[in-house]
Structure 1
Amino acid sequence: MKRRQFIAALGAGAAAAAIAKPAIAQSMPELRWRLTASWPKSLDTLYGSCESFAKYVSDATDGKFQIQTFAAGEIVPGLQTLDAVQNGTVEMGHTAYYYYIGKDPTWALFCAVPFGLNTRQQNAWFYEGDGQKLMDEFGAKYNTYNLLMGNTGCQMGGWFNKEIKEPGDFSGLKMRIGGWAGKTLQKLGLIPQQLAAGDIYPALEKGTIDAAEWVGPYDDEKLGFYKVTKYYYYPGWWEGGTTNHLQINLAKWNSLPKNYQSVIRAAAGAVNVEQTARYDARNPQALKRLVAHGVQLRPFSMGVMEACLKASNEVNAETAATNPDYKKVLDSMQAYRNDEYLWWQVAEYSFDSFQIRSRTKG
């Protein structure tokens, strides 16, 4: 090749590279985002999910997309992640949406409500039913895009400084209880308090509150509730399955390349499964340890459960009558739940009930 031809070829190659490189750079930009969580770092189930998510995103993008995670209080208080994401203080958050019923009670329906969906039913409703579509529509009103990113499974009914034998025993109790359940128990005379995780133990210890619920044995043990109260009730009928969400500022989400959006969806989906697995794996041994500490397990009586169901139905009817968004989402969720239980009573419930009976016999 003559010198002049070589230089021309080299120039053409450089020009081609100059054209190709920006396209690659555009699809894989270097980004540094922040995620604020509603959880303290001590809760490795919840805050650990945020860390796992950030790692998956980084690994899948060869480190080009870095997400720095912050625990509750490091940027904003744990119950203000929605505000921080909505107004662009941070790009992402991780939270339980029933914390924001003060803005609109519809938020609770996407997280957990009394006598709602269990964990697998929630996943099915979001992934295969209308759940994600309804969430997209509602979340856009608050400048957010939202993805499932964790589920605690069915929770416990909480810690009480006295026994709850009948519905009237709730009257006058001050209880830390999240979300829409507090509205339901108000009908039975309870005084609900909304506190972030790190504030619950001091309130119990000082007697500022008489009862509290968080999640279940593993987290509750870490938070130390057994040290200051001994009656531990079940089931958490207000949280048959609690969906935690990844919140993303809508403008920031729309600005992402499609491949980054796919990475985020995949990473959030992986964490969604992992979080439930962590709770399922860790709760049994934690429950044994709590009982060894002298904790007294108590089931809510059928009378208590039925009174709470009645109160929940009243709250739903009253709210749906004045809030079209709430009614739309509630109708979808309840119809889905009713169909799902047709299947559950045939297979899942029958199998699990037999297995539990067999274990206790042998």
Structure 2
Amino acid sequence: MIHLSDIVREYPDFRLALDLSVTREELVTLLGHSGSGKTTTLRILAGFEKAHRGSIILNGRDVTNLPPEERGLGYVFQDYTLFPHLDVSQNIAYGLRVQGRPRPEQRHRVEELLELVGLGGFGKRPVHTLSGGEQQRVAVARALAPGPEALLLDEPFSAIDPERRASLRRHLLRVQRELRIPTVFVTHSRTEALYLSDRIFLLRQGILEDQGTPLELYERPRTEYAARFLGAANIIPGMFNAPGSATDKRPHMIRPEHLRLDSRGPLSGRVTEEGYYGSWWEYKVETSLGELTLTTRQNLSRGELIRLDLPREHQIPLEPSPGT
């Protein structure tokens, strides 16, 4: 459905170079720290910026040199950019008016979208009376109104307080699944990426560091950077305790929840720090492999000597980052 091929965009102090594709009905996330190239990629796809090299194919159509209004994409900006002098219905209907749709069709489409985003009955409200989360949903409805071929969202939850983000994530996922519209979502939040995505593209300094489903990136990241970005990660210098096989000296990752307390485990350590998080404890454990992080439901004491097992199937070999 969407294919960015051999895209290159150069700035005096930054270079973006990547290939990526999005299939029909798929929600993909561009994930990364600020300055990694996420929004630049989205803006190139939308036509707001032009790549120095490469092509953009949307549903079999080459749109590389088309202006944004001819690409058939819906775009939700970080600050929503709602029109303050228009009410909710008028904001949503804006693209339909530009298209010259008949007024009865506009009214029907607006009511349909208000119900879809959970704002039925809000049509006549001034936008300044809405909460941030409600404004975000209006912005999504406005982007969807003209019937775009794909939906692009640039950190749409960044201005929303953390307590409301979970609800908004559920709303967005329900809308995307109901419409089955290919969606590209930009965020720096691993929580949002893991919850929403069919696939994640992890960007770092303008290149694609890793990609895959949320489960693949969390359980089997390709690089140390990807391992640490997706969650707490213990990095050990080579495969530990692999009897009957050649020693793999590549660095390996094991998640804190995959370490096992075992009185006969091959690795000893001493608890140096502890933290309680309601449903689990997190401990720092000093071992011969360095300091490891352990999460468990068991209550340990600071200074306690423990033994650990590092299950071989959870020791994931890591490769150098691309371009290094």
Larger helix share, 1 or 2: 1
Larger strand share, 1 or 2: 2
One fold, TM greater than 0.5? Answer: no
Greater relative contact order (Cα < 8 A, sep 6+): 1
For the aligned pair, the TM-score class normalised by the smaller chain equals under 0.3
- TM-score (norm. length: structure 2): 0.23
